[in-house]
Structure 1
Amino acid sequence: MNRRLYLRSIAASSVVAAAGCLNSLSSGNDHRTDRGSGTERDRADGAVLEPPKRDLSEASHPSYGDDFPAVELPDPLNGETVSTDQFEGERTVLMTFFYTSCPDGVCPALLLRLRRVQAVAAEGGYGDDAAFLAMTFDPERDTEDALRTYAGERGVDHDAGNWHFLRPERYETAEEIVTEQFGLPLKKRDANEHEDLEYVFPHYGYIFLVNERGLVERVYPDGATVATARLVEDFETVVAGT
């Protein structure tokens, strides 16, 4: 049976930090407009999933029903340039932000969840309908070699052809993308208690789920602790419905 038809049948029957990783951002930080209003919302045009129970429409980051920001960055491990909008019409996307020197386990937990969904997609035969994007905001330390080592440590399957490590060439570019494009303020801080590190990042452990139309289906502010089964279920439902 065609994998998408199979997933649609499932959906039809079942759907009726690092030194200070932080929670969702309030509207006080919002520099986006036309976000929708209130907590009572209809299903967004083009969305597969119903509106989430937690309404994040007033936060500064993209939320349910928003167009996902289009950014273009090098993938040094694959030797290509990747744009977040190149998957429109082709793949469902999971994206997160990380750095390999993260001292408290949050970033490894984020990558673990993306890796688990990648494995499930491979097992289910729909890996070609998926894309997994992990953008570092610490390019000074996250060199190509560092990312390659990290990928091996996290069990990333590069042979699947659906995983991309995105690496801005400069920290300033990373800061602009994460802060301005995604609404997640990012700043370096002295490591202080982490004597083996020069600096760390208070940052947000977010995972974004984006459908083939380029619309945000889910934002997981608790991405490092969100149940993997929930992430898999949401992902499969979106794949089946697009």
Structure 2
Amino acid sequence: MDRRRLLGGMGAATATLLAGCSAVLDDGPEGVVLGEQSDQVAESEALAYPAYGQSLPSIELEDPLNGEVIDVKSIDRTMILTAIFTYCPAECGILLNQLAGVQGMIDEAGLTDDVAFLPITFDPERDDAEALADNAETIGADLSLGNWHYLRPETPEEAESLVAEEMGIGFERTTESDRLEDYDFAHPVVTFLANPDAVVERTYRGENIDRNRVVEDTEAVVEAFTDRE
């Protein structure tokens, strides 16, 4: 099966499915604490990207806004990750604005130190520190909370290797775009909720994510891992 082709063809079907259960799991796949995701579009093994019960790939990238290197395998926080480019004129901005709202709700719940927000750019040529700082201001992300980190591969080749090949979020650069001058990207929109062991608990497709659902799922993961300590 061509897993990337499968990834690209499922957007329309996703919106019609039911929301996933946030109940803490007793006997599911090893490494997860939430129950099975009822609106996942296919079995995890059939998807291009890591899904419920699967581990994230090794990701170790610098946040160019503060020089901190983030390693998802050792960050020891519940993580919300996605892949974006800040020059995106539509879907990425919508998603990031939603995630900034989630960040605020997580802060209100007193869980700021337990959750990391990790948008990864696949456009390092344009997404330098200045562009990323401007984006944070535009979407309303609060960098002062210390839990929002833009991660930037050093080169387009590294972005291709990490985001497209290892994370399974394929993207295609094109110079034939009605949206942007110079170049644009065609890409799916996928957001990952992973636990502190870097195992995926939920994937959310599309830019119009349900903030309340993401917060509920995130709180459940944080609580379950807190109870383990």
> What number of residue pairs does the alignment pair up?
202
RMSD over aligned Cα atoms: 1.9
Whole-Å separation in 1 of the counterparts to 2:71 and 2:137: 24
TM-score by length of 1: 0.78
Whole-Å separation in 2 of the counterparts to 1:192 and 1:64: 34
Aligned 8 A contact 1:25 1:184 in 2: no
Say which one has the larger Rg. Answer: 1
Task: State the match for 2:109 in structure 1.
Answer: 124
Question: Any stretches of 5+ residues in structure 2 without a counterpart?
Answer: 10-26
1:183, distance to aligned residue in structure 2 (A): 1.2
1:214 lines up with 2:198 in the alignment: yes
Of 21, 32, 37, which aligns to 1:52?
Answer: 37
Task: State the match for 2:65 in structure 1.
Answer: 77
Question: Any stretches of 5+ residues in structure 1 without a counterpart?
Answer: 1-21, 27-41
Task: State the match for 1:30 in structure 2.
Answer: none
Task: State the match for 1:177 in structure 2.
Answer: 162
1:49-92 deviation per Cα after TM superposition (whole angstroms, max 9, x unaligned): 111112441111101001111111111101121112222xx310
Whole-Å separation in 2 of the counterparts to 1:160 and 1:82: 16
Runs of 4+ aligned residues of structure 1 deviating over 6 Å after TM superposition are none
Q: Which moved more, 1:148-157 or 1:201-210?
A: 148-157
TM-score by length of 2: 0.83
In the superposition, relative to structure 1, how do residues 165 and 23 fare at CA in structure 2: closer, same or farther (>3 Å)?
farther
1:143-172 deviation per Cα after TM superposition (whole angstroms, max 9, x unaligned): 111111111111111111111000111111
SS at match of 1:231: helix
In the superposition, relative to structure 1, how do residues 141 and 61 fare at CA in structure 2: closer, same or farther (>3 Å)?
same
Task: State the match for 2:16 in structure 1.
Answer: none
Corresponding letter in the other structure for 2:32? A
Percent identity reads 39
